[in-house]
Structure 1
Amino acid sequence: MRYILLLSLILCGLLARGLCEDSGEVDSIIGGAVAAKGQFPYMVYFRNQVTGKLFCSGTLITPYKVLTTAWCFPSFLPSVPITAWMNTVSLIPDVDRVVRAVVRVVRAPDYNPATGMHDIAVVTLDAPVTFVPPVRLGFGLYFNSGLSAGIVGWGYSGATQLTTYLRSSYITIQPKSVCMTAFGNPNFGSQFFICAASPGVGSCSLDAGSPILLNGYQIGISSQARCGGGEPVVGVDVRSYEAWIKSNL
């Protein structure tokens, strides 16, 4: 699924630097429940201001910076206006929402869309967000397979996007071999990735950039998934990028 979507983005990029959104398939956290207001205030969704639609997710990590995937932003400076929306659980604009413009994107220098390696980016906002608490990054956390983590994302479904809400679900950390086998990619066994899966739980393309959480700390960034309940979710392990992230704050 991710490879089909990647091809779509490449084709889209000919017109708008890849900042397009799919309009015909269900792209959401599979399973779980609607998040409570204020539960994940740091959750960001990126909106293409030309189409008015969501295309990726992220997390506020400082007043000026958002953590997401490199796959979401083919360019360091988007050619169409992009905004970051946060402090809300609904795609319907509400009074508490916070909106900032995206002014710069820094991707990991070794990012390789063909292999999925180093799929991480830091986005700069045009003004600080001082009243929304950023997510805490789990740089020093140790975890292994069998632990229960959380995934969070925007339930997006084509033309019904404005009636959908932020969803969260529990998911189990798996041996990396599970993701290596599922995607046929040996790179997913490296230190740079987390693998997670649970029956009836999953994420989709527009959840790219959303967090994998452990005890309130972000340990991963959703990078690849197949849009089905029970399908593995490949996450970028933020611990492997501690120095790079800090150098771009």
Structure 2
Amino acid sequence: MALHAVSPAAVSSPLRALAHRLAQRPGCGCLPKQLVSIYSSANFAGLQAGPLVLRHSDKRAVLTHATIEEIEAEKSVIEEQAKEKMEKAIETVQTNFNTVRTGRANPAMLDRIEVEYYGTPVNLKSIAQISTPDATSLLIQPYDKSSLKLIEKTIVAANLGVTPSNDGEVIRVTVPPLTSDRRKELAKTVAKLAEDGKVAIRNIRRDAIKAYDKLQKEKKLSEDNVKDLSADLQKVTDGYMKKIESIQKQKEEELMKI
């Protein structure tokens, strides 16, 4: 791209002001007061890929901008980090959905149960083996039988709508059929968990936008760059929102099965 020497008066107001300030700096002989080297106005259309920055050497100031490769590199880092966090948000939503019981017995419904084992809260699965002998019951076999009563008490306190029974060897958990009212209550719980997941996705998007804004303030990206990258990020966000809606619908269908 060719460089043309023009007077500050021929440059747009912001650039003219910047060139003039640089030329007037005390003790700075790097810029002549009458001349500043910039790209010609005919080539300004090619600068849309990034922010405009005046870099001065001992003889001239050159107007530069972020290359397409540099912009893509910044986008890749920020967008990939956002995707990774959104994936984890989806996993959390799915895990929470698994703890909402349906009409069938599922060990996952006890995933969030924590037992105060010797004064330390531990996940039930870490101190007991859980199996499903049939479609309506769970069998809990603790590795330490002295924890049987504590496990039973914890399950009752969790208010899962199930009935644990301790025979001194194992705990059997009967999963009763869901009533119509109970299904509606659980559907509301699922909707709340889904909304929590969407809020997490929105917050991740917000943080990524802030990262783009920071690069703009540092003159590494232009305002147009940020708008384009934000639009691309919104498409990614919409995709993860649809994933949450999909698994929510699937869970609600499970709840409605009799």
Q: What band does the TM-score fall into relative to the shorter chain? A: under 0.3
Higher relative contact order (CA 8 A, sep 6+): 1
Question: Larger Cα Rg: Structure 1 or Structure 2?
Answer: 2
| Higher helix proportion | 2
TM-score by length of 1: 0.20
TM-score by length of 2: 0.20
| Higher strand proportion | 1
